[in-house]
Structures are given as C-alpha cells and as structure tokens.
Amino acid sequence: ELRAWQQALRAQFPIVTGHPDLVYLDSAATAQKPRAVLDAVQTYLTTTNANAGRGTYTWANRTTTLVEQARDRVKRFLGDPAPERSSVHFTSGATEGLRTVGRDWLPRFLADGDEIVVPVADHQANISPWEEARRQLARQGVHVKLLPMPYQQASGDYDHTALADIAGPRTRCVAVTHVHHVYGGDMNIHRIRRAVGPDAVICLDAAQSVGHLPVELSRLDADFVVFSGHKAMALPGSGAVWARQARGPEFAPGGWSGTPNTVGIASLVAALDWLDGAGTERIERWTVALAARLTEALRHLDAYEVLGCRTSLAADSPVQRRQGIVTFRHRDIDSGDLGFILFSHGFMVRSDSHCQGGAGEKSDSVRVSLHVYNSTEEIDRLLSVLTTLG
C-alpha cells in the first residue's frame, strides 16, 4: 500500500521521471520539486507578479495577501497551538534564519556573564551565528560564554548527561538541531528543555526535519524554529523563522522594509500544501525505511563504516531513530573518489565534510540523503554497486 502511494508521488517529480538513468540521493542539500510547486511558480509569475506591501492595484494587493497568508500557512503546517502569539519571518534559507535569530535578535536579550550552549558537531550554519553574537556583544563590553554541547555517536543524540552538567542558571539560549545533517539522528529535543529549564530560549535548526517528518510545535517546546524552504521542496532562496512571542524582546525583523522573495514564498505555500497532501507522517515512514534498508545492508559489508546512530524503528528505543540520511566511509577508497565512482553509475551523492562545524568528524565521508521520490529499487541498485567495491 505504501509502495503504490510512493510510486504515485514519485511520478509527480518531472526531474526524477525525466532522468531514469540518474538517481538523486542528495536531498539533504536540496530537495527536488513536485509539479505542483513548478505550476504555482508559473501561475504566480504569469498572473499576479508585483511587489508586496506597497501599491494599491490588484496584483500588488494579491501579492501582499499572499505573503500575509503564507505566514499563517507556515503556522498551520507546524501545528502552531497559539498562532496569535507567534510570528513568522521569511528568510533566504536556514542559514539566514539562524543568523537573524543569533545576530539580530539574541544580543538584545543578553547580559554580562550569560551563556549560550552551542552544538559543536552541528552544521556550521548553526554555529557561526552564536559566535557572531558573542563577538558583537564583546565589542559592547558584554561578555557571554559559548558552552560546547557534545554529541554521542553511539546513541546518535546530543550527550544529555553532559548537557545537564554544562547548563546552569546563566544559560539563556540553546541552539539545537532537530535532525542531524550528517548522522541522520532525530535528536531527542524533549530532553533539552528538561536539562536547561523553562527560562532558556531554545532555537531549533529544523532544516533537515521540516518537509521530511511531522514537525509539531505543540510537542517541541521550542522558542524559535528555523527552516529552509528549498529543502522542503520550495524554490532556493526561501525559508522561514517561526518565533514564539512569549518572552524577551519581540522578534519582528524586517516588516515591509525590503522586497520579499514573493516567488519563493509562493513556492513555499505550494510546497507545504503538497507535503500536507502527501502526509509527512507517511513520508517519514518511507524515508526511515529506505535508510534502514541501506544502513543494515552496509553493516554486513566489512569495507564500510556507517557514521552516527544505529538504525532503530522502535518508538521507545533509547537509541534515536535514524531519518533518511546515511553517511559512510569505505575502508580503502577515498570518499571523494567513491563519490566519482558512484556518479559514473548515475548516483548523485554528497562526498565531503558536509559543512560540519567545530569538533565534528572532520574527514570526508559519503552522504546518501533520501526523500519520498526515492525508491527501494534505487537503494538496491546503489547497494549492488557498493557491494562490488567492498
């Protein structure tokens, strides 16, 4: 039943169906777009295109309404339990979103001696903004400390015991990632709130979770949720920050001071509609199952080392569930070379150090990242090539 559902969805991606000899396995970098998103872009540009927030004629009004309604659409997509007490700010992607929180908002909120917990093995986009905030404050004579949050390979999660030890009464902000972009683990962010207490601001980098699994605000207890539109099937140059207005200075950057990426926002609305129609819960089940298939098979091939968490499908498992990201190395073949070899067979993977920050695994590895358009057959074809190289 899930297979027939997946085949029907896969058929809606022209770039996938148009290239039967190629296999796209780099969705953690950016996702492919369904026909509905391409159509929405075409429709917007051929019927409505105008600037937003100014102008009194129909197209301008419609564009302004589009942007305003898109904010509500993002809230609805995230299951916002109190939409009247939150705001949505559109950005060019997760990098700009995290920078907006870290550099533009956070410094107004911190005092001498405050602390920010920063995850050292995360994407650089979730490390630099907090370092920038610290530098910016230091220039004003305000000294804040960055506390490195460690990561535990065996469980595929942050090291929560260590976090409980490092977080203290001066901890004002914790930057966490929902799904790790190299290890693929769905981080147990419920435990973060318990470790840091009710007053700290939790900023969630949801670049690898929004569009891949249900991201329900009512179950997350985050103050900021930052995501990337292009990884959620919208156009590049789109993304958003959802902010809870519960505490601290109000988060209201921008307003109508510049031209928003109206085409990107139109594509984001179409992408969220499409994802809700497809069902993020089923998308998650599909990509988790594909990743499990690949991870389990690689474990039986001596030449490969899989990074990050063990695959686990059990909801109550102490080991975090691996989402659709599998990163590995070959014992003898350099990861860059392995990437070229795989592409000579039509597989598009990422092979480098994946923009991982600080104390992460700095050496290169090959990352296979999946979305709902990927099929079981594609994984089996990949495995047969990897097996011949073992």
> Can you give the binding site for ligand PMP, defined by CB under 6 A?
28, 93-95, 123, 125-126, 177, 181, 205, 207-208, 228, 239, 355
Q: How far is the CB of 236 from ligand PMP (least distance, A)?
A: 8
Q: How far is the CB of 366 from ligand PMP (least distance, A)?
A: 16
CB closer to ligand PMP, 95 vs 374: 95
Rounded to whole angstroms, what are the CA distances from 229 to 74, 144, 212, 235, 380? 11, 32, 12, 7, 30
Rounded to whole angstroms, what are the CA distances from 274 to 172, 283, 318, 363, 369? 37, 12, 33, 37, 20
DSSP calls for 279-301: -HHHHHHHHHHHHHHHHHHHHT-
Give the closest residue to 339 by CA, choosing from 322, 355, 327, 325: 327
CB closer to ligand PMP, 206 vs 270: 206
Q: How far is the CB of 97 from ligand PMP (least distance, A)?
A: 8
Q: How far is the CB of 133 from ligand PMP (least distance, A)?
A: 17
CB closer to ligand PMP, 34 vs 93: 93
CB closer to ligand PMP, 146 vs 333: 146
Question: With contact defined as beta carbons under 8 Å apart, do 19 and 32 qualify?
Answer: no
Q: How far is the CB of 119 from ligand PMP (least distance, A)?
A: 10
**DSSP bridge partners of 174:** 117, 202
Give the closest residue to 225 by CA, choosing from 196, 245, 202: 202
Distance CA 16, CA 46 (A): 25
CB closer to ligand PMP, 33 vs 181: 181
Q: How far is the CB of 71 from ligand PMP (least distance, A)?
A: 18
Q: How far is the CB of 231 from ligand PMP (least distance, A)?
A: 6
Amino acid at 250: E
Enclosing H/E stretch for 224: strand 224-228
Tokens of 140: 């004003």
CB closer to ligand PMP, 63 vs 321: 321
Q: How far is the CB of 284 from ligand PMP (least distance, A)?
A: 17
Question: With contact defined as beta carbons under 8 Å apart, do 185 and 213 qualify?
Answer: no
CB closer to ligand PMP, 6 vs 30: 30
* Nearest residue to the partner ligand PMP, using Cβ: 93
CB closer to ligand PMP, 330 vs 354: 354
Give me the sign of the Cα torsion angle 138, 140, 143, 145: negative
Distance CA 131, CA 136 (A): 9
Distance CA 167, CA 43 (A): 50
CB closer to ligand PMP, 107 vs 211: 211
Q: How far is the CB of 56 from ligand PMP (least distance, A)?
A: 34
DSSP state of 210: B
309's CB contacts (< 8 A; 6+ apart) are: 153, 154, 155, 156, 157, 183, 184, 185, 319, 320, 321, 322
Q: How far is the CB of 207 from ligand PMP (least distance, A)?
A: 4
DSSP calls for 113-165: T-EEEEETTSBGGGTHHHHHHHHHHHHTT---EEEEEPEETTTTEE-HHHHHH
CB closer to ligand PMP, 177 vs 312: 177
Position of tokens 């690898």?
Answer: 208
